[in-house]
């Protein structure tokens, strides 16, 4: 893609990565992604905000052919997909000063060996004049790294929010359409921001007194009316969970599947919505997104050797790491002789600090008594959700 003007003085640089299908060798990217850098031309000075993943350096360098002088390169975040091309840009513009937070400087020096002479560190709230434009730097810690900051143009009311409020979505158009972007934005929130829910809310609160007419994130399209995405983040991070159970499961010989089917029907009969994922075919991002507003997680697993199926270990670990606002957890499944399912999965989901509801484990094919226990579990879940007033 070529550089694309957003306003008379702000240009979207960077790359649209239509074909990338995995981020961090972990996160599926069904819609690709973008690495957004932004060029801001003031009446006296020019600043480039962030760079791109080194894999897309050639795209940025070609776009920079139109920029013969750069006063400032602002680094909002030291992760490679934005910072990895900083050394090349600094080499191209020996006059450019690298502007970042003190923590950003520390990380960039450690990660990229950038000489200290190139840096200018800025405090939270500090401003930098480009002439007719004033950049105000706003620390946005832990969304999602400790050094993350944003830049706000005071005259234009534009916020460059770095990873915060972004989406992994490749598109040719500049701007986000609410109905198109929300699915990917929620998925992105789940995968990247959810572990830092309290900081999401703190940073939204911090921005609340600032007039923001446009949000330019580091991934995905630009928000011309950012209210909806900021409201969505507040709801995802701080709103109550829904009257919903997520069931990630694996079944080897059909016993666990019978229990999951029974539980699904029993919950539906009690007015509890269910989203279930067969982990042998599911996309991890879909599971993560489902966890954003689920009140309860029930993992379904057969025993493999002495413990749970490895695919359920992965999802239990992920749930514990992503820290959704889950209130209740349980486990259903089938075993032959190994009985460490609850020990292993219970330990992995412990970081959720959710109440463990009595697991139901059948020896072999589930019998009537096992299904009665499943019914009791469904009844307990429905009652807990009712008592909590969940909808």
R_g (Cα) of the chain, nearest Å: 24
Using CB under 6 A as the binding rule, whether residue 163 contacts ligand FEO is answered as: yes
Q: Contact region for ligand FEO (CB under 6 A) — 74-82, 115-123, 128-136, 346-354?
A: 74-82
Q: Hey, what are 88's tokens?
A: 């090349």
Q: Looking at beta carbons only, is 9 or 163 nearer to ligand FEO?
A: 163
Q: Stretches 79-87, 102-110, 114-122, 361-369: which one binds ligand FEO (CB under 6 A)?
A: 79-87
- The DSSP symbol for 348 reads H
Give yes or no for a contact between 293 and 246, defined as CB atoms under 8 angstroms apart.
no
Q: How far is the CB of 80 from ligand FEO (least distance, A)?
A: 8
Contact segment (CB under 6 A) with ligand FEO among 73-81, 275-283, 301-309, 329-337 equals 73-81
- Binds ligand FEO by CB under 6 A, chosen from 219, 325, 327, 385: 219
Both tokens of 38, joined, read 């932004």
Least CB distance to ligand FEO at residue 27 (A)? 11
Single out the residue of 9, 17, 31, 79 in contact with ligand FEO (rule: CB under 6 A): 79
Backbone φ and ψ of 129, nearest 5°? -90, 135
The window from 76-84, 88-96, 253-261, 319-327 that contacts ligand FEO (CB under 6 A) reads 76-84
**Interaction between residue 133 and ligand FEO (CB under 6 A):** no
Find all residues with CB under 8 Å of 31, minimum gap 6, and list them: 167, 168, 169, 170, 171, 184
Q: Which two tokens stand for residue 128?
A: 């930098």
218 is a contact residue toward ligand FEO (CB under 6 A): yes
CB of 269 to ligand FEO, least distance (A): 43
Candidates 82, 118, 169, 244: give the one binding ligand FEO (CB under 6 A): 82
Burial of 244 (0-12, 13-18, 19+ CB in 10 A): buried
Residue 188 vs 328, nearer CB to ligand FEO: 188
Residue closer to ligand FEO (CB basis): 149 or 294: 149
Q: Please, which residue, 188 or 277, has the CB nearer to ligand FEO?
A: 188
Query: In this structure, are residues 75 and 48 in contact, taking their beta carbons and an 8 Å threshold?
Result: no
Q: Which two tokens stand for residue 376?
A: 């009791």
Candidates 14-22, 78-86, 149-157, 365-373 — which segment interacts with ligand FEO by CB under 6 A? 78-86
| Residue (52 or 97) nearer to ligand FEO, CB | 52
Report the residue number, 46 or 218, with the smaller CB distance to ligand FEO.
218
Is the separation of the CB atoms in 351 and 324 below 8 Å?
no
d(CA 19, CA 55): 12
Nearer to ligand FEO, 187 or 219 (CB): 219
CB atoms within 10 A of CB 144: 20
Distance of CA 222 to the CA centre of its chain: 17
53 binds ligand FEO (CB under 6 A): no
Relative to beta strand 22-23, strand 27-28 is antiparallel
Q: Give the burial string for 316-333 (b: 16+ CB within 10 Å, else e).
A: bebbbebbbbbbbbbbbb
Q: How many residues bind ligand FEO (CB under 6 A)?
A: 8
In the complex, the smallest distance separating the C-beta of residue 123 from ligand FEO, rounded to whole angstroms, is 22
Structure tokens at 77: 């975040």
First to last CA, the chain: 44
Residue nearest ligand FEO by beta-carbon distance: 79
Among 76, 77, 258, 325, binds ligand FEO (CB under 6 A): 77
**Closest among 278, 284, 274, 283 to 252, alpha carbons compared:** 278
Q: How far is the CB of 51 from ligand FEO (least distance, A)?
A: 11
CB-wise, 82 or 133, nearer to ligand FEO? 82
CB of 90 to ligand FEO, least distance (A): 19
Tokens of 145: 């790294």
| 74/50 Cα distance (integer angstroms) | 6
Cβ at position 218, least distance to ligand FEO in Å: 5
Calculate the dihedral angle through the C-alpha atoms of 67, 71, 75, 80, rounding to the nearest 10 degrees.
40
Which residues ranging from 22 to 51 are in contact with ligand FEO (CB under 6 A)? Answer: none
**Tokens read off for 21:** 């299908």
Positions touching ligand FEO (CB under 6 A) are 77, 79, 81-82, 144, 163, 218-219
């Amino acid at each position: 893609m070529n550089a694309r003007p957003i306003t008379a003085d702000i240009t979207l640089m960077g790359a649209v990565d239509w074909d990338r299908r995995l981020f961090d060798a972990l996160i599926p990217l069904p819609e690709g992604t973008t690495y957004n850098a932004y060029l801001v031309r003031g009446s006296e000075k020019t600043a480039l905000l962030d760079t791109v993943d080194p894999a897309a350096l050639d795209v940025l360098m070609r776009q920079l052919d139109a920029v013969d002088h750069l006063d400032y390169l602002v680094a909002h975040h030291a992760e490679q997909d934005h910072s990895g091309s900083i050394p090349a840009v600094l080499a191209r513009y020996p006059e450019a000063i690298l502007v970042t937070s003190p923590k950003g400087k520390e990380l960039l020096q450690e990660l990229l060996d950038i000489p200290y002479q190139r840096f200018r560190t800025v405090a939270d709230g500090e401003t930098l004049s480009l002439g007719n434009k004033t950049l105000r730097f706003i620390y946005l810690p832990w969304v999602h790294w400790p050094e993350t900051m944003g830049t706000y143009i005071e005259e234009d009311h534009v916020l460059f929010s770095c990873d915060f409020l972004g989406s992994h979505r490749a598109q040719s158009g500049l701007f986000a359409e609410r109905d198109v972007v929300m699915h990917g934005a929620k998925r992105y929130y789940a995968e990247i921001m959810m572990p830092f829910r309290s900081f999401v809310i703190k940073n939204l609160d911090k921005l609340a007194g600032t007039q923001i007419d446009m949000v330019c994130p580091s991934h995905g399209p630009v928000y011309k009316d950012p209210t909806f995405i900021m409201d969505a983040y507040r709801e995802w991070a701080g709103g109550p969970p829904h009257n919903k159970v997520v069931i990630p499961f694996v079944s080897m010989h059909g016993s666990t599947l019978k229990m999951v089917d029974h539980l699904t029907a029993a919950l539906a009969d009690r007015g509890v919505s269910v989203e279930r994922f067969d982990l042998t075919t599911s996309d991890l991002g879909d599971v993560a997104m489902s966890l954003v507003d689920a009140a309860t997680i029930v993992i379904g697993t057969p025993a493999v050797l002495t413990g749970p199926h490895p695919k359920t270990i992965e999802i239990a670990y992920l749930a514990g790491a992503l820290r959704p606002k889950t209130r209740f957890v349980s486990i259903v499944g089938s075993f032959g002789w190994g009985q460490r399912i609850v020990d292993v999965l219970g330990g992995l989901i412990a970081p959720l600090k959710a109440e463990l509801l009595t697991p139901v484990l059948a020896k072999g094919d589930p019998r009537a008594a096992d299904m009665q226990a499943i019914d009791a579990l469904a009844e307990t879940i429905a009652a807990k959700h009712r008592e909590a007033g969940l909808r």
